[in-house]
Structure 1
Amino acid sequence: MEHSPEFFSTFDVAAILVVAAAVLGYVNYHVFRLPHVIGLTIMGAVTSLGLMLANSLLPWVTLDNWVAGLLERMDFTQTLLQGMLSFLLFAGALHVDLEKLKSAWFPVLLLSTVGVILSTIIVGLAMWGVGDILGLSVSPIWYFVFGALISPTDPVSVLGVLKEFNVPGTLQSAVAGESLFNDGVGIVVFAILLEAAVTGADFSLSEGAHLFLVEAGGGLAIGLAIGWIGYKGLASMDEYSLEVLITLAVVMGGYALASMLHVSGPLAMAVAGLVIGNYGFAHAMSDTTRDYVHKFWELIDELLNSILFLLIGLEMIALVPQLNHLAVGIAAIAITLLARAIAVGVTTKIVPGTRLEGAGTGTILWWGGLRGGISIALALSLPEGTTRNLLLAATFAAVLFSVLVQRATLGRLINRHRPAVEGSHVVPSAAQD
């Protein structure tokens, strides 16, 4: 007997996603032997395209309706995605070395604030122009919402390449630190713009700046407080199972508290993760506990990224892409790369103060600015409608290109610039003179 999606419980939906991720991971490990994220993305994309083709050519197949019904069972905005974002950002923050990041703090600060806002504006304006050319009936504010969700970068994939090619730790930390904080900043900007788009209210730059300062500042403060409380709890014992539970409580309790206080939960989790990942690992954990905590959060990060890539594939089946989706997707790839290049150039070369030295460093930061799970999660949280479908197609194209092309060629780019990269460091502008 065939079951329609409305008969599935939330647990059933979660089980389907986890089983699908495990099966695709198994096939990739034994057959394709690709890095997990790349293998999962390729197989998910191929599976999605194959199912979409079957859905179009075989009239008795109503897969799009079934998948759409299945996705309706998931309350993305209020439950799944909010939880996912908190876990992803905390897991990413655990791997950022603050000592190595100190020498690159100013470029990282500029990239994760000015760079994100600049990228959001450039992407929004350019996509608005594309929309006008294609004759799309989309309110301009939605193009800036897309700019905010696609501007944050994902450190998970690129850090693996940087480590594999023995790139200096300072550059690795700079990439990880920028990705971590631009995720938090990008989510705040996204939330502000999304509220304006949904309510239809005129966007006020001064009000938006005020909301940004309140949400971002409050999130940083909550993150420091929660991280310190977690650190003190970890330092008071030596019991790895309980200490893993404390890190879990920091994430879930801290994110819930930040949401209750209407401040940025993602930024709070980024800061809490930095505190635990640096001071907690160094001063509050035994070697055994540190190993367990690392492995636990690596597993969480891997699982959630796998599920997000599957979700974006399922969404592409459900919306049945059209010709304008393809055009918007291609435009999104080019525009996202252009915006990233401008943001990196402005914040690491033009702004006085400090800059990242090395002829190839800026190029690696540009090409290594991969999009991933955060962008997918934000796109999936958009309200239903034709505009959401267009922005999902644009997100799918940009993320797919990022993972399949940029990540796959980043190693060759690093080798090409290896002498400059190996000598890279952060130099005060006074010293440059």
Structure 2
Amino acid sequence: MELYYSFSILIVIATIFSYVNVRFLKLPATIGIMVIAMIVSILLVFIGNLVTTGPLQDFSTLIGSLNFSEILMNGMLNFLLFAGAIHINITDLKEQRLPVIIFSTLSVIISTFVIGFALYFLLNRLLPMVDLHLEIPFIYCLLFGSLISPTDPIAVLSILKQANVSKSVETKVAGESLFNDGVAVVVFAVILKLAQGESIDLSITNIAWLFIKEALGGFLVGLLLGYVAARAMRTANDYKVSVLITLSVVMGGSLIVHAMHISGPLAMVAAGLIIGESKRKRKENEEIVTTNHVGHFWELLDEVFNAILFLFIGFELLLIPNLHNYWLIGCICIVVVLFARYISIKIPTLIIPFKEKFSSGTIKILVWGGLRGGVSIALALSIAEGPFKQVLIAATYFVVVFSIIVQGLTIGKLAKKIKIS
């Protein structure tokens, strides 16, 4: 019952913040909710220093008691990825399949190592020369690189559409963001085991097997779930049953992939793509009522979960004591992550013969549009207690907040200025 009360409070708060944003701030919905939550968090921290008891302290305790990493990675993420994938056109995705595959796999690995090496050099070699000591072991710099490398499409896609960005760029950003979560989680899990001193076989064969089992296994299971569900929806041809089928795919499918120890995110993406494509074909055949109801249901669910997710991100400020002590490393990490994002996009465009040539404008959009979000925070929070956990969480929070607010609010203007056709 406590979980029910907690979510009830969060839904009410998200509703109030959404209203305030629509009425006064007029920012993109998710960004507005997060900004208001951050402002409220700062006020709570300030007032909390003056008031040690009462509702304010109870609310801080409530936020601290919620396992954000568990809630997002084993619950909300599956709904969000399925909801995102169901609206992606497979035809568009096929046209951009090579860039999407490369950016969601090779670019994640490149970004991880560029961030790891650059951050280690800056913190352990360069800063001590000017008498600033923020040393972090290389393995933890690499761990930070793995958790901050996956991009998040949630905040940027609607802005790109408003900016009239070309369909090819929009598909690249969306496709990469949907697929790279599964890859990044595998990379993070391997590096985390090394950081915690666990023995692990680092041979190419074993690492390749881990990727095949997690990524390919999850994708294949998702395709099977999507095919079975799409067929059932066609034969039932009833919107209430269709909605229940899609819910069962996400919730039941999550249990299946968890039991099989394979990638849940990739399974949900694959299932969403198959069901979304089936929905579009049925719409072309004038089965509009059923497909529209399913689409509207998932659009609404997507908005609700996004509101809660960005509310969580804003309130995570309450869980980082003395955040102001980490401003320098936070700023350094922002620069390093942007640099790594550029390198991870630029290198593949130079060495891989893509069908279409990447202009400098396209690369700028891909770099600046690679927002970080809740997945990175959830991965940081999942790290076991240790001497470097708090600094990694703080650095992640700085990068995510900068990414969502600064990049998220300016990507539209950048896209309009570049005018990619």
387-396 or 251-260, which deviates more = 387-396
366-375 or 194-203, which deviates more = 194-203
Partner of 1:364: 365
Q: Residues 303 and 193 from structure 1, CA distance in 2 versus in 1: closer, same or farther, beyond 3 angstroms?
A: farther
Q: Residues 49 and 305 from structure 1, CA distance in 2 versus in 1: closer, same or farther, beyond 3 angstroms?
A: same
Task: Kindly indicate whether residue 13 of structure 2 is the aligned counterpart of residue 20 of structure 1.
Answer: yes
Q: Residues 232 and 54 from structure 1, CA distance in 2 versus in 1: closer, same or farther, beyond 3 angstroms?
A: same
Alpha-carbon separation, structure 1, partners of 2:156 and 2:381: 23
Q: Residues 387 and 19 from structure 1, CA distance in 2 versus in 1: closer, same or farther, beyond 3 angstroms?
A: farther
1:25-64 aligned at under 5 Å gives the runs: 25-56=18-49, 58=50, 60=52
SS of the residue corresponding to residue 388 of structure 2 reads helix
Partner of 2:96: 104
1:31-430 aligned at under 5 Å gives the runs: 31-56=24-49, 58=50, 60=52, 66=58, 69-132=61-124, 133=127, 135-136=133-134, 138-198=136-196, 200-201=198-199, 204=202, 206=204, 207-283=206-282, 286-418=287-419, 421-422=420-421
Q: Give RMSD over aligned pairs.
A: 2.5
CA contact (8 A) 1:223 1:271 kept: yes
Q: CA deviation at 1:400?
A: 1.3
What do residues 315-343 of structure 1 show as CA deviations (whole Å, max 9, x unaligned)?
Answer: 32132224442122111211111111011
Q: Residues 63 and 195 from structure 1, CA distance in 2 versus in 1: closer, same or farther, beyond 3 angstroms?
A: farther
Q: Which amino acid aligns with 1:11?
A: Y
Q: Which amino acid aligns with 1:38?
A: I
Q: Which amino acid aligns with 1:377?
A: A
171-180 or 314-323, which deviates more = 314-323
Alpha-carbon separation, structure 1, partners of 2:18 and 2:146: 31
Alpha-carbon separation, structure 2, partners of 1:384 and 1:299: 37
Alpha-carbon separation, structure 1, partners of 2:408 and 2:323: 27
Q: CA deviation at 1:96?
A: 1.6
SS of the residue corresponding to residue 154 of structure 2 reads helix
Identity of aligned residues (%): 40
Alpha-carbon separation, structure 2, partners of 1:16 and 1:384: 28
Alpha-carbon separation, structure 1, partners of 2:58 and 2:345: 43
CA contact (8 A) 1:344 1:365 kept: yes
CA contact (8 A) 1:308 1:376 kept: no
SS of the residue corresponding to residue 157 of structure 1 reads coil
SS of the residue corresponding to residue 335 of structure 1 reads helix
Unaligned runs of 5+ in 2: none
Q: Residues 197 and 143 from structure 1, CA distance in 2 versus in 1: closer, same or farther, beyond 3 angstroms?
A: same
SS of the residue corresponding to residue 344 of structure 2 reads helix
Q: CA deviation at 1:75?
A: 3.8
Q: Residues 312 and 175 from structure 1, CA distance in 2 versus in 1: closer, same or farther, beyond 3 angstroms?
A: closer
TM-score by length of 1: 0.87
Aligned length: 412
SS of the residue corresponding to residue 236 of structure 1 reads helix
Alpha-carbon separation, structure 1, partners of 2:319 and 2:67: 16
SS of the residue corresponding to residue 155 of structure 2 reads helix
Alpha-carbon separation, structure 1, partners of 2:114 and 2:376: 17
CA contact (8 A) 1:104 1:170 kept: yes
What do residues 338-397 of structure 1 show as CA deviations (whole Å, max 9, x unaligned)?
Answer: 111011111223323434444411111111111223223333333345533222212221
Alpha-carbon separation, structure 2, partners of 1:382 and 1:66: 25
Q: Which amino acid aligns with 2:108?
A: V
CA contact (8 A) 1:222 1:268 kept: yes
Q: Residues 171 and 408 from structure 1, CA distance in 2 versus in 1: closer, same or farther, beyond 3 angstroms?
A: same
SS of the residue corresponding to residue 384 of structure 2 reads coil
Q: Which amino acid aligns with 1:249?
A: S
Alpha-carbon separation, structure 2, partners of 1:289 and 1:247: 12
Alpha-carbon separation, structure 1, partners of 2:307 and 2:119: 28
What do residues 247-287 of structure 1 show as CA deviations (whole Å, max 9, x unaligned)?
Answer: 11111111211111111111111111111111243238931
409-418 or 115-124, which deviates more = 409-418
Q: Residues 54 and 46 from structure 1, CA distance in 2 versus in 1: closer, same or farther, beyond 3 angstroms?
A: same
Q: CA deviation at 1:78?
A: 4.4
Unaligned runs of 5+ in 1: 1-7, 423-433
Q: CA deviation at 1:48?
A: 1.6
Alpha-carbon separation, structure 2, partners of 1:318 and 1:49: 11
Q: Which amino acid aligns with 2:321?
A: V
71-80 or 367-376, which deviates more = 71-80
CA contact (8 A) 1:65 1:318 kept: no
